[in-house]
Chain A
Amino acid sequence: MSAEKEPLFSSKNIKLLTEPLNDSNPITVQVLGICSALAVTVKVKPAFVMALSVMVVMAVSNVAISLLRKTVPPRIRIIVQLVVIAAMVILVDQVLKAFLYDISKQLSVFVGLIITNCIIMGRLEAFALSNKPWQSFLDGIGNAAGYGIILIIVAFFRELLGSGTVWGFQVIPKGVYDFGYENNGLMILPPMALIVVGAIIWIQRAKNKKLVESN
């Protein structure tokens, strides 16, 4: 159809990849996927695995829907999207259970709940249904990376301040504890994840004036 072939990493395509990291970040700008951001960010490791799982699910289902976009009747498109996502989530869940059993235990129900993650459905509806597979793939990777980055930043602070560790390793030296330091128990509770996400949004808006609504 189109006369000239677009290069794989044209500036437009690169933008698909980088924009969700900051200007249209799924968590801090679009405020989607908050539930899992609260639930799996107590420690960095599960958060990282969660981010990776979402990335796989998102990239693959974006490509699948993009390939199907001309054959799926609009009336049943949501069902088709759900089937694709659910199949991918089950696949990811089984892989985690087989190879990363401990983390799969920690993530528990939240892997299954990727199906209901609003970011994935949102990208399928908004992007994959009307774009080519390659662009959809990049869009999926970009949005999942934007989601994952926030997840890992939140988890980093929660684990550091809540448990004194990062990725399971003790970071705060024992001497500090002898001095009277205590781990912050509030950091482990879900409300603090919300506050940390809020603080990230605050900092991001202070740095990125584009995001500030004029009123």
Chain B
Amino acid sequence: MKSLRRYIDKIKPHFEKGGRFEKLESTFEAFESFLFVSNKVTSKGTHIRDANDMKRTMIVVVIALIPTIIFGMWNVGLQHFRATGQEGTMLELFWLGFIKVFPIIVVSYVVGLGIEFAFAQYRGHEVNEGFLVSGILIPLVLPVDVPLWMVAVATAFAVVIGKEVFGGTGMNILNPALTARAFLFFAYPSYMSGNAVWTHGMMNGEGIIDSYSGATPLAEAAAGNISNLPSVAEMFFGTISGSIGETSTLAILIGAAILIITGIGSARIMISTVIGGLVIGLLLNIFAVNPFMEIPFWQHLLLGGFAFGAVFMATDPVSASQTPKGKIIYGFLIGFLAILIRVINPAYPEGVMLAILLMNVFAPLIDHYVIEGNIKKRLKRAKVKA
């Protein structure tokens, strides 16, 4: 560790103003602060002194995602072996998932960080760390057999149009990872929806046994085949087909616990999202006219990407509401709309992505009215006293 510090100190002058590589200053800075706590201090405005800077915040989110990543890789293997009717050891399953998922992660990081570095260099500011999380979220919300070049295009789109045009990390209106997913969903629907895309090897159909449909539980439910739904335990542990990281509610709950304990993810948003989902689920149960509307309201939380969206996507600190009251409204509407789109609109079997993106757009408006309301309340109080 010491020798690394010494090495960085030795090469540092080259990157400072007047040095040989001054053009690459922000790239150097990014690597230096990635390895060591920065000694820079904020000089303007009110601020709290804390060693926990943005890089370390982002690292905590990545750590919280590790259970879903590992489980997702294993589940990719499991679904493939089920589809081909083979048996495999746990390690074999995991290894197959690893060699399928790892390239997607690499592509997402290389493309996304490449663009981030290029923009930082060009604009002469520090490299923003936001992509550390987005880069891992993007693979987790994709089906396993998505072609790698599509991942690259979607990542580039999300970083440039979703983030950099607004001024980079901290300025984006939309969640970049979901922007990438939405882009793929509308641009290449044949790779993003249907029954065949969720299981590795099913797109070309080799060696797939007939009894395996590959349909996600959500697709089964939307088609009205409630009897085909997997058991609640299976849906909770996540041995079902779906996007890479979204299937296991258990792994996501572990991540949620890490986020809440470290104070990085907003428990307020997560809980209100869940409540929103439960309320609309209950309403649909009451007025049920088809089998999809009849599935027990709490099972909606286990299906599809609801848990993943509520824990990792809705809580994105940049695109979510900032005010405490706003967070509750924001979360509630996400949960409410997600299930509403999922059940009522047959064109979109999963509404979580669309609900979160929509509420991202409305988050500043919600905040505005919460703040206005607060100002009015305090003005009234002041008048009464006077």
Contact = CB atoms under 8 A, between A and B. Distances in A.
Interface of A: 180-182, 184-187, 189, 195, 198-199, 202
Among A180, A185, A189, A202, chain B packs the most CB atoms within 10 A around the CB of A185
Contact of B187 (A181, A187, A199, A202): A187
Contacts of B188: 182, 184-185
Interface in B116-173: 147, 149-150, 153, 161, 165
**Secondary structure dominating the interface of A:** helix
Among A184, A195, A198, chain B packs the most CB atoms within 10 A around the CB of A184
B332 to A, nearest CB: 27
Nearest to B164: A202
A24 to B, nearest CB: 23
A212 to B, nearest CB: 15
B362 interface: no
B183 interface: yes
A202 to B, nearest CB: 7
B18 interface: no
Contact of A186 (B149, B165, B187): B187
B189 interface: yes
B183 A202 contact: no
A184 B149 CA distance: 12
A182 B191 contact: yes
> What 8 pairs between A and B have smallest CB-CB spacing?
A186-B187, A186-B186, A184-B187, A185-B187, A182-B188, A180-B147, A185-B189, A195-B161
B174 to A, nearest CB: 12
A184 B190 CA distance: 11
A186 B150 CA distance: 13
B189 to A, nearest CB: 6
Contacts of A184: 153, 187-188
Nearest to B192: A185
A107 to B, nearest CB: 24
B167 to A, nearest CB: 12
5 contacts: A182-B190, A184-B153, A186-B183, A186-B187, A199-B161
B104 to A, nearest CB: 15
Given A185-B189, A186-B187, A195-B161, 19 more contacts: A180-B147, A180-B149, A181-B149, A182-B150, A182-B188, A182-B190, A182-B191, A184-B153, A184-B187, A185-B186, A185-B187, A185-B188, A186-B183, A186-B186, A187-B187, A189-B186, A198-B161, A198-B165, A199-B161
Nearest to B150: A182
Contacts of A202: 165
A182 B188 CA distance: 7
Contacts of B147: 180
Contacts of B153: 184
A62 to B, nearest CB: 35
Contacts of B189: 185
A189 B147 CA distance: 22
A181 to B, nearest CB: 8
A195 B158 CA distance: 12
Nearest to A161: B187
A185 B183 CA distance: 9
A198 B165 CA distance: 10
Nearest to A181: B149
A214 B183 CA distance: 33
Among A186, A195, A198, chain B packs the most CB atoms within 10 A around the CB of A186
A195 B161 CA distance: 8
Contacts of A189: 186
Contacts of B149: 180-181
Nearest to A195: B161
A193 to B, nearest CB: 13
A180 B151 CA distance: 13
Contacts of B186: 185-186, 189
A182 B183 CA distance: 14
Nearest to B191: A182
Nearest to A202: B165
Contacts of A187: 187
A194 to B, nearest CB: 11
B247 to A, nearest CB: 26
